[in-house]
């Protein structure tokens, strides 16, 4: 799988926009107060950007990426951390490709 420079720039701009929105939200929360909806929105904004970046390989990449997504989601849920899920997903994709799954 290869990515064109335009796609990489778009992903970078989306990540910067999510970080700017989250930072602006934290500044606004100082003046407006903390509401449950705003807290939930700010907690899930970076995850939404990562999911949008992962959708393309899942739909176009084949079975190895689906295996990686399932393993990553399971590890993130059970272990409780993004890092473990990320490394597990990358390792699962590598093992699935090594095993011959495309």
Q: Tell me: the pLDDT tens digits for 24-83?
A: 877 877 777 767 876 776 677 666 666 776 777 777 778 888 898 889 888 888 987 778
**Contacts by 89-98, CB closer than 8 A, 24 or more apart:** 92/67, 92/68, 93/64, 93/65, 93/67, 93/68, 96/63, 96/64, 96/67, 96/68, 97/64
């Amino acid at each position: 799988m290869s990515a064109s420079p335009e796609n990489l720039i778009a992903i970078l701009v989306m990540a910067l926009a999510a970080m700017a929105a989250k930072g602006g939200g934290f500044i606004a929360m100082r003046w407006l107060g903390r509401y449950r909806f705003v807290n939930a929105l700010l907690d899930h904004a970076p995850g939404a950007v990562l999911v949008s970046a992962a959708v393309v390989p899942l739909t176009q990449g084949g079975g190895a990426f689906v295996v990686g997504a399932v393993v990553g989601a399971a590890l993130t849920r059970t272990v409780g951390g993004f890092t473990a899920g990320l490394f597990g997903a990358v390792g699962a994709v590598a093992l699935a490709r090594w095993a011959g799954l495309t």
